[in-house]
Amino acid sequence: MISFRYHLVSIAAVLLALAAGVALGAGPLSESAKIAGGKDSTVISADLTELQGFEAAYAKKTGGALVSEKLKGTSVVFFTLPGSHVDQIEGLESAFAGAGASVVGRVALEGQLVDSKGRQFAEGVAQQATKDVKGVSTDGESYARIGSALGRAFLATKTVKPDAAASTISSAFSEGGLIRLEEKPTSRAQLAVIVAGPEKADSDLGQGEIAAALADAFDLSGQGSLFVGPSASSDEDGYVEALRASDAAARVSSVDVIDAASGRLVATLVAARELGGNAGAFGTSRSADGAIPN
26 has a pLDDT exceeding 90? no
86 and 192 in a single domain? The answer is: yes
Whether residue 294 lies inside any domain: the answer is no
Residue after which a domain boundary falls, among 65, 81, 107: 65
Taking residues 84-95, report their average pLDDT.
96
Q: How many domains does the chain have?
A: 2
189 and 202 in a single domain? The answer is: yes
61 and 107 in a single domain? The answer is: no
Taking residues 113-141, report their average pLDDT.
92
Quick one: pLDDT at residue 1? 42
Quick one: pLDDT at residue 59? 56
103 and 209 in a single domain? The answer is: yes
Whether residue 33 lies inside any domain: the answer is yes
Residue after which a domain boundary falls, among 16, 43, 65: 65
Going by pLDDT thresholds of 50, 70 and 90, the confidence category of residue 132 is confident
Q: How far apart are the first and last CA of the chain?
A: 18
Give the span between the Cα atoms of 193 and 172, in whole angstroms: 22
Whether residue 291 lies inside any domain: the answer is no
**Could you tell me if 27 and 269 are in contact, meaning their C-beta atoms sit under 8 angstroms apart?**
no
CA dist 227 → 6, 67, 210 (Å): 26, 19, 13
List the domain range (segments joined by +) for residue 121: 70-282
Report long-range pairs for 115-120 (Cβ below 8 Å, ≥24 apart): 115/205, 115/206, 115/207, 115/210, 116/205, 116/206, 116/210, 117/205, 118/178, 119/143
Q: What does the angle CA 193 – CA 194 – CA 195 come to, to the nearest 5 degrees? A: 115
39 and 77 in a single domain? The answer is: no
Going by pLDDT thresholds of 50, 70 and 90, the confidence category of residue 137 is confident
60 and 184 in a single domain? The answer is: no
Whether residue 34 lies inside any domain: the answer is yes
178 and 40 in a single domain? The answer is: no
Going by pLDDT thresholds of 50, 70 and 90, the confidence category of residue 10 is low
Residue 77 phi, psi (nearest 5): -120, 135
Closest CA to 44 of 29, 55, 23: 29
34 and 138 in a single domain? The answer is: no
Give the span between the Cα atoms of 135 and 101, in whole angstroms: 25
113 and 131 in a single domain? The answer is: yes
Quick one: pLDDT at residue 167? 97
What pLDDT digit, counting tens, does each position of 167-182 carry?
999 999 999 999 999 9
DSSP category for residue 69: T
What pLDDT digit, counting tens, does each position of 200-248 carry?
999 999 999 999 999 999 999 999 999 999 999 999 999 999 999 999 9
| Mean pLDDT taken over the chain | 85
CA dist 57 → 50, 90, 91, 255, 261 (Å): 11, 16, 13, 21, 8
**Could you tell me if 261 and 59 are in contact, meaning their C-beta atoms sit under 8 angstroms apart?**
yes
Residue 161 CB coordination number (10 Å) = 9
What pLDDT digit, counting tens, does each position of 150-172 carry?
999 999 999 999 999 999 999 99
Residue 272 phi, psi (nearest 5): -60, -40
Q: Phi/psi class of residue 283: alpha, beta or left (left: φ > 0; alpha: ψ in -120 to 50)? A: left
Give the span between the Cα atoms of 9 and 167, in whole angstroms: 43
Whether residue 56 lies inside any domain: the answer is yes
Quick one: pLDDT at residue 32? 39
SS3 187: coil
Whether residue 100 lies inside any domain: the answer is yes
Whether residue 287 lies inside any domain: the answer is no
